[in-house]
Amino acid sequence: MTFQSAVRRVGVVVAIAALAASAGCAKKEDGETQASGVKLVEKGKLTVCTHLPYAPFQSKDAGGKVVGFDVDVMDLVAKELGVEQAIVDTPFEGIKSGQDLNTGKCDAAAAGMTITEERQKVMNFSDPYFDATQAMLVKTGKPYKSLDDLRGKKVGVQAATTGRDYAKKLADEKGLQLVEFEDLAAEQQALANGQVEAAINDLPVWTEYIKEHQGGFEVTAEFDTGEQYGFSVKKDGNPELLKKINEVLAKAKQDGTYDTIYEKWIGKKPNA
């Protein structure tokens, strides 16, 4: 082989490699941007981060399928985009800190998440879709009717939640011994086995838990904290998706689809 032919052959190999790399990049970009202009981390899917379980907003049914209020609403968004919803179960800390969105783990977060000023600094929220209230759950028959009754007692809270924040603000004043749990299931189990005397979390999750454990538990106090849930996207990173979520929410509320989803999972129609 002559020197010139060797050079020509190397040039051909380099050109082919460059074309292959170019094709690979093009494929990746196709996967990121839909025809509607909405950017998605994976082609053909609306990847949604959540933290399980948090019924009735998201949890697994008997067959292992993730279902719930948030799931149904985000299915509407996925349908509008012409894709399927893909749910990623991940620790709530990564969701509320914005890390999962910023690193491209998901396109959006739907986790029964309250809109707060702190969270708005690290992610963009949709219009509110649910008005939330904190509540205290105890075993049926226990004498605890308010936080004042729990002085010196252990009270369960879920890590990284507004329920935890609310209880923490009042812990010293009320003499509460807060016990923090990584997820809702652990908090529920702690109450059931007597590790804590009461537990604080969002009212809808306790309502669902009571339905599943008839006669075993009751809500004895509610705390109107003025919270509202929102879906979220990467901070200043996906305005097209955020716009689409808000459009779908508005349309669902107008045509009655939202009311149907609300009644299905909450057990009553939303307040007018």
- Residue 172: give the domain boundaries: 133-227
Write out pLDDT tens, residues 181-193: 999 999 999 999 9
12 pLDDT above the threshold of 60: no
> In the predicted model, what is the mean pLDDT of residues 9-37?
48
Write the burial class of residue 165 (CB in 10 Å: 0-12 exposed, 13-18 middle, 19+ buried): middle
Within a domain: residue 144? yes
Is residue 60 domain-shared with residue 98, that is, in the same domain? yes
Tell me: pLDDT of 221 over 50: yes
Judged against a pLDDT cut of 70, whether residue 26 lies above it is answered with no
166: its two tokens: 């609310």
- Which helix (H) or strand (E) segment holds residue 66: the answer is strand 66-67
Q: Is the pLDDT of residue 53 over 70?
A: yes
pLDDT tops 70 at residue 50: yes
86-103 tens-digit pLDDT: 999 999 999 999 999 999
Q: Which CATH number do you get for residue 88? A: 3.40.190.10
23 domain residue, yes or no? no
Residue 7: predicted pLDDT: 40
Residues 142 and 81 placed together within one structural domain of the fold: no
On the question of pLDDT at 27 being above 50, the answer is: no
Q: Is 35 a member of any domain?
A: no
Q: How many domains does the chain have?
A: 2
**Strand 123-125 vs strand 232-234: parallel, antiparallel, or unpaired?**
antiparallel
